[in-house]
């Protein structure tokens, strides 16, 4: 069977939204930046890329109009390279990597760039909400349209996960990310960039512009304490989710180069990891955060594996509450889970995150000399996804 290998990855540093360093960076420039870097890291001629597949949770405005095609051209690929854009919400960046790997396994390509991006800063103020809801669905499947924070509070109430447990998890995420940044554990995946950003006053009005050079994720708050988080007000008066125990709104882009493993070997290219399999499931939209609980067992069963057979887990930290529930329900060892922190401390550009998690899991897995990693996440609308990779070739 043809094997699909990840041979390179590249991502932007993650910027805070809407006041961070990437708050005025168009999706084409953001995506082009990482495409150019990833192809160079793979040691490929740009003309050898056969397709570009990018995911985004909001394919409109600055990340619309087939942003994958725009980013391909912005990234220096010749106009013979096509592009396609996909929306599976928070799993969009993971899904494109999976589709690229499946195409290669089917013998339909040799080298594909896949990943995702998001500009919350440019999209949030201008989202098109005209006829956004279907009347029948709003009446009969109301949870489909709930804000994600409401689904997280729903999970907290239904499964008895209190505020303190969520805050404790969030503090640990911040601590792990701070330690990883100090040890420069993200450097191999990040491609620094210079950008022009908008400067806002306290009222939210733009009062100027400045040039910034961003070389590391800017969301981490290394001094976070449990006492400080306890003082934050919940988003909903009767809820437990706060700005401190939820993922940060962010901007960023990430891609991986997916290639035939035999072709990589023939050229002597280093293989970061091999794609093994993927599962995606649907569930009650009201508790979308627990999607990994259903996706992971299906994935592992297909390969005759148990939870303890997985050496590293990247479970997207949309909210502390859903990570806690999934971790405990699946029986994941906390020492193998999100070892360098996650979206609570790093940030969560929706369409980017799946690709970032794949790249980071493969780099960290190689660093620790382990074999198997799983990337898993909940997905807006009531879904869950999980993918299995093996380190190296």
Q: Domains of the chain by range and CATH?
A: 4-124+166-235+242-391 (3.40.47.10)
> 0.95 exceeded by the pTM?
yes
Q: Give the three-class secondary structure for 315.
A: strand
Give the phi and the psi of residue 79 in degrees, each rounded to 5: -70, 0
pLDDT recorded at residue 393: 73
Task: Give the pair of three-digit tokens for residue 197.
Answer: 């950003």
Count of helix runs (H) and strand runs (E) in the chain:
13, 12
pLDDT recorded at residue 1: 86
Place of tokens 């093996």: 390
pLDDT recorded at residue 217: 98
pLDDT recorded at residue 338: 98
pLDDT recorded at residue 299: 98
How far apart are the C-alpha atoms of 36 and 150, rounded to whole Å? 39
Q: What is the DSSP string of 74-132?
A: HTT--TT--EEEE--GGGHHHHHHHHHHHHHHTTS-SEEEEEEEEEHHHHGGG---TT-
Per-residue pLDDT of the chain (393 residues; tens, 9 = 90+): 899 999 999 999 999 999 999 999 999 999 999 999 999 999 999 999 999 999 999 999 999 999 999 999 999 999 999 999 999 999 999 999 999 999 999 999 999 999 999 999 999 999 999 999 999 999 999 999 999 999 999 999 999 999 999 999 999 999 999 999 999 999 999 999 999 999 999 888 899 999 999 999 999 999 999 999 999 999 999 999 999 999 999 999 999 999 999 999 999 999 999 999 999 999 999 999 999 999 999 999 999 999 999 999 999 999 999 999 999 999 999 999 999 999 999 999 999 999 999 999 999 999 999 999 999 999 999 999 999 999 987
Active site residues: 90, 348, 378
Give the phi and the psi of residue 97 in degrees, each rounded to 5: -65, -45
How far apart are the C-alpha atoms of 141 and 15, rounded to whole Å? 34
How far apart are the C-alpha atoms of 88 and 380, rounded to whole Å? 8
What spatial distance separates the first Cα and last Cα of the chain, rounded to whole Å? 14
């Amino acid at each position: 069977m043809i094997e699909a290998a990840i041979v390179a990855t590249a991502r932007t540093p993650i910027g805070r939204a809407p006041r961070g360093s990437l708050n005025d960076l168009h999706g084409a420039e953001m995506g082009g930046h990482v495409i150019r870097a990833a192809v160079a890291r793979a040691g490929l001629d740009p003309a050898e890329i056969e397709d570009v597949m990018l995911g985004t949770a909001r394919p409109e405005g600055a990340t619309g109009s087939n942003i994958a095609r725009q980013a391909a051209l912005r990234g220096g690929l010749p106009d013979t390279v096509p592009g396609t854009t996909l929306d599976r919400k928070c799993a969009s960046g993971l899904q494109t990597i999976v589709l690229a790997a499946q195409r290669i396994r089917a013998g339909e390509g040799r080298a594909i760039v896949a990943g995702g991006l998001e500009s919350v800063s440019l999209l949030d103020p201008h989202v098109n909400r005209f006829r956004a809801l279907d009347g029948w669905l709003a009446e009969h499947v109301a949870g489909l349209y709930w804000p994600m924070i409401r689904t997280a509070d729903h999970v907290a109430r239904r499964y008895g996960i209190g505020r303190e447990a969520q805050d404790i998890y969030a503090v640990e995420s911040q601590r792990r990310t701070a330690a990883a940044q100090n040890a420069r554990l993200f450097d191999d995946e990040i491609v620094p960039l210079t950008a022009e950003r908008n400067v806002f006053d306290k009222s939210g009005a733009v009062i100027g512009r400045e040039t910034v050079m961003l070389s590391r994720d800017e969301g981490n708050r290394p001094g976070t304490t449990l006492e400080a988080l306890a003082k934050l007000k919940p988003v909903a008066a009767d809820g437990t989710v706060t700005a401190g125990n939820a993922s940060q709104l962010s901007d960023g882009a990430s891609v991986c180069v997916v290639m035939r493993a035999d072709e990589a070997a023939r050229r002597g290219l280093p293989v970061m990891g091999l794609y093994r399999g993927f599962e995606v499931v649907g569930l009650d939209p009201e508790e979308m955060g627990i999607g990994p609980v259903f996706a992971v067992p299906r994935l592992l069963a297909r390969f005759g594996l148990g939870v303890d057979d997985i050496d590293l887990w990247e479970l997207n930290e949309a909210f502390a509450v859903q990570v806690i529930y999934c971790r405990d329900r699946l029986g994941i060892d906390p020492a193998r889970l999100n070892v360098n922190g996650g979206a609570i401390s790093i940030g969560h550009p929706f369409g980017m995150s799946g690709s970032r998690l794949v790249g980071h899991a493969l780099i960290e897995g190689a660093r620790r000399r382990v074999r198997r990693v799983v990337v898993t996440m909940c997905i807006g609308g009531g879904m869950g996804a999980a993918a299995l990779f093996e380190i190296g070739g």
